Amino acid sequence: MAAETQTRGRPETAAPAAIELRGISKAFGPVQANRDIHLRVERGTIHGIIGENGAGKSTLMSILYGFYKPDAGEILVGGRPLTITDSQTAIRAGIGMVFQHFKLVPNFTVLENVILGVEEGRLLRPSLSKARGVLKRLAQDYELHVDPDAVVENLSVGHQQRVEILKALYRRADILILDEPTGVLTPAEADHLFRILEGLRAEGKTIILITHKLREIMEITDTVSVMRRGEMVASVRTADTSPEQLAELMVGRKVLLNVQKAPARPGKPVLEIRDLRMVDASGVERLRGIGLDIRAGEILGIAGVSGNGQTQLLEILGGYPEKGSTVSGEVRVNGAPLPLTGAGCNAAERRRKGVGHIPEDRQAEGLIMDFSAWENVAFGYHDAPEYGRGPLMDRDAIRRDAEGKIRRFDVRPPDCDLAARNFSGGNQQKIVVAREIERNPDLLLIGQPTRGVDIGAIEFIHKRIVELRDAGKAILLVSVELDEIMSLSDRIAVMFDGRIMGERLPGQTTTGELGLLMAGVDADATPPPKIFPEKCE
Amino acid sequence: MDLNTVLQILDSAVRLMTPLLLACLAGLYSERAGVFDIGLEGKMLMAAFSAATVAALTGNVWLGAVAGLLGALMLSAVHGVASITFRGNQLISGVSINFLASGLTVLLGQKIFGLGGRTPSLTPGAELEAQVTPFRAWLSGITGPDGAAALTATPRFGEITLPFADALRGVPVIGPLYAEVISGHSILVYVAFLMVPLTWWVLYRTRFGLRLRAVGENPASVDTAGVSVTRLRFAAVAIAGLLCGLAGAYLATGLSAGFVKEMTAGRGFIALAALIFAKWRPWGALGATFLFGLLEAVANRYPNLDLGVITVPSMFMNALPYILTVIILAGFVGRAIPPRAGGEPYVKER
């Protein structure tokens, strides 16, 4: 293709890129999901896009697939500028998308799902028989074997994903975008997926792989881009980078927040975890033998790239393990064993035993967004004797209590009757923090305390966490922000792939060393430079 | 019970099930596309009223039927705009349509005819004649008096005698069955029965049907395939309106002769129950509505069923369809899985 003129002042490559983004920006209200994104993906390569949850990866890909209109910027497909107004345009331009949550009709057969939207004519029969032939050929070419007459809801997750890939290929996609494809897969299924992707690359297809798993990036991609907080912070050849470098780029180095704190004076053990294991509903092992101790008056920080089991750990300790999962092991609080299954395993019971919880996702788990601030302050503790008069709620008492907490935690605006939804992210978080900290729990579980929170509120929340520690309470802090872990924790445990990779003391470690552990490399076991195991399994 | 009685009951059952069947299929299209339609009752009522009114004013049942379709379609549009465009609550929209139709029909009926909310009887007579005269006079200016008289002489759907009905009457069992039960209904009855295989064919053999079923199960799958969820759902709601229109027109101008206040008498809700019983399938709808029609026919035939020991009171017989509904809805007839996206307005997720 004589495309010299279309590459427009990019002399370093002759052939047009499969996809090129120039200055893409997108905001949702006050949230800047994508800011001035530039990206270039060469034809016939696998390009990884890596970043934390909420870094803007999915938004970017949704723009590419016509789900959102960018506020600014230009998209070039095969060197030609293209305005993608809807999914149909994207499909015609040869872009196929495999969403994280599959877009399949559960009670349709594989064939019906594949032809949906690209039927040949008004009647189904010709389309179905054509698709049957195409599917057979695709199955042979790319190891994409699925029974075309199987009903999708009866298929395993891995097979459902193949149906999604088949859908894209049936629509003649040349560029295949996969959003977190391995999140729901077992390791064997993931390996199979990677073989499929390699086969597609060999056929000249371009693949964009969105993930937050470093292992996948290192294993399969040719080039990789890192996103953080809506910006594209780096684009490099995979061969020229290392997992620890990527981990550092992902979590970033913010201005180091200084937390004033005296050395910890640890007391008796409050939380003891022994060999905690968890297999989720789809059979994937999420926790593989966690062992941890936290003493009174200390903060244990858990560092790690998200998706390595931190969420599951918090949910189990909080009393609400994922439905359908199997949990085993031993957890003691103040010496008494906590039930991990059955009737005694619920959040209310945990709170009665002195376990407070600031959940990772405050909007889904920490608050009821349409309820007012004073109601949210009482949630979880609404059975407390001081909140009730017999079977009735004592509204005045709750409101008085809520007003106090809102004042002491400087929630703005200080309006008890405002719905939680109408507070900013930082103030929403202060409501949750106030509720949990002021109950004075023996053990406080904290997940991502400052995600989406402004600097001022971050400092305030950190100060309160340290005060609680100084009052002799045990704190488990889970955060993907390495700086937060480094500045708050008295000890740091690094989680990777459902295991504790190691424990370090904040004064005696570096972000580099932690980054290595977060990538699944134990520096004590392997010489640090340049040696990365082919597979971490 | 002799054969003749059985045939009469069956004949009556076919007539009584027709509006149920049409309404049930209306609900089927709408709910298969993911839009709950509790307003079947209201749409039928509106259609019955519009059909009877126009038939009474023009003396032409076909114009009446068109008016019936338009009346129901208008309420469908309200439902569509409320629950698809503005993503409102589908149940609330349906309930308000029922109230609207219930009030509006009586109000307009009183305003137009001054008969306390009913329309004039569509049987030939002085009452009807008085209503038709102005239209006939106007029409004769266009078609001449003879044409006008011919065009305004059929205020009701007549009964159609199918071919060979009389010739086959002599054949044992099959002959009378054909002549009494199958032959001798109005055209809308046959339309209703033809809608069953047609609906099956549309749903399972055409592109439209595939997309319709998909949008009721997982609208995101349709959206990501580049097909408009909104347009599909509007199409389904419009089809539902047309079928309700037929049902209402049949009620007022086929089954009865004229509109009376609240004449649907809960048939829209019975049709919804039948839809669940039918598990949202066309042939199931035929069976379920036949059962309800049969019960109603039996109740009409034997107001006081004498069992020798006790006499079952007529109230019980009349309540039977509703009792059956409760039993069905309580889940005694196996699990019925509704379309998964039913009742949910489609919002693109981030």
DSSP letters for A491-505: EEEEEETTEEEEEE-
How close does chain B come to A117, measured CA to CA in Å?
5
> What homologous superfamily is domain A4-250 in, according to CATH?
P-loop containing nucleotide triphosphate hydrolases (3.40.50.300)
Contact B205 A67 (CB under 8 A): no
How close does chain B come to A433, measured CA to CA in Å?
27
Q: Residue A424: which residues within 8 A CB-CB, separation 6 or more?
A: A412, A454
Q: Which amino acid is at A201?
A: R
How close does chain B come to A109, measured CA to CA in Å?
11
- Alpha-carbon distance A487 to A484, whole Å? 5
* Phi, psi of B271, deg, nearest 5: -65, -40
Question: Per DSSP, what are the bridge partners of residue A50?
Answer: A211, A226
ipTM for the whole predicted complex goes beyond 0.85: yes
Q: What percent of chain B lies above the pLDDT cut of 90?
A: 61
Contact B218 A117 (CB under 8 A): no
Would an 8 Å CB–CB cutoff place A99 in contact with chain B?
Answer: yes
How close does chain A come to B218, measured CA to CA in Å?
6
Contact B218 A104 (CB under 8 A): yes
Q: 64-83 in A: which are within 8 Å (CB) of B?
A: 65, 67
Would an 8 Å CB–CB cutoff place A170 in contact with chain B?
Answer: no
Q: How is chain A split into domains, by residue range?
A: 4-250, 251-354+441-537, 363-440
What 3 state SS string does A130-152 have? Answer: HHHHHHHHHHHHHCCCCCCCCEH
Give me the pLDDT at residue A342, please: 82
Q: 330-349 in B: which are within 8 Å (CB) of A?
A: 340, 348
Contact A108 B214 (CB under 8 A): yes
Contact B225 A116 (CB under 8 A): yes
How close does chain B come to A306, measured CA to CA in Å?
20
The edge-to-edge listing of strands for the beta sheet with A285-295 is A285-295, A269-279, A326-333, A336-337
Contacts of A117 in chain B (CB under 8 A): 211, 222, 225-227
Nearest-by-CA chain A residue for B211: A116
**Cis before A413? omega within 30:** yes
- Alpha-carbon distance A284 to A282, whole Å? 6
Nearest-by-CA chain A residue for B207: A122
Would an 8 Å CB–CB cutoff place B162 in contact with chain A?
Answer: no
Q: Which of B217, B218, B226 lies nearest to residue A87, judging by beta carbons? A: B226
How many Cβ atoms sit within 10 Å of the Cβ of residue A231? 17
Q: How confident is the model at residue A3 (pLDDT cuts 50, 70, 90)?
A: very low
Report which of residues A213 and A210 the model is more confident about. Answer: A210
pLDDT at B308 over 90: no
CATH code for the structural domain at A251-354+441-537: 3.40.50.300
pLDDT at A529 over 50: no
Fold agreement (A4-250, A251-354+441-537)? yes
Q: Which helix (H) or strand (E) holds A518?
A: helix A511-518
How close does chain B come to A201, measured CA to CA in Å?
24
- Alpha-carbon distance A194 to A520, whole Å? 20
- Name the average pLDDT for chain B: 91
> Domains in chain B and their CATH numbers?
3-332 (1.10.3470)
The answer to whether B47 and B204 are in contact (CB under 8 A) is no
CA torsion sign for B87, B75, B98, B13 is: negative
Average pLDDT over residues A347-375: 91
**Residues A233-252: b if buried by 16+ CB within 10 A, e if exposed:** ebeeebeebbbbbbbbbbbb
When mean pLDDT is compared across A347-361, A445-459, B72-86, the lowest value belongs to A445-459
pLDDT at B44 over 90: yes
- Alpha-carbon distance A448 to A503, whole Å? 19
- Alpha-carbon distance B48 to B42, whole Å? 10
Contact B226 A117 (CB under 8 A): yes
- Alpha-carbon distance A339 to A316, whole Å? 10
Would an 8 Å CB–CB cutoff place A123 in contact with chain B?
Answer: yes
Q: Which of A21-30, B216-225, B301-310 is the most confident on average? A: B216-225
Contact A127 B213 (CB under 8 A): no
The answer to whether A481 and A228 are in contact (CB under 8 A) is no
Would an 8 Å CB–CB cutoff place B279 in contact with chain A?
Answer: no
Give me the pLDDT at residue A247, please: 78
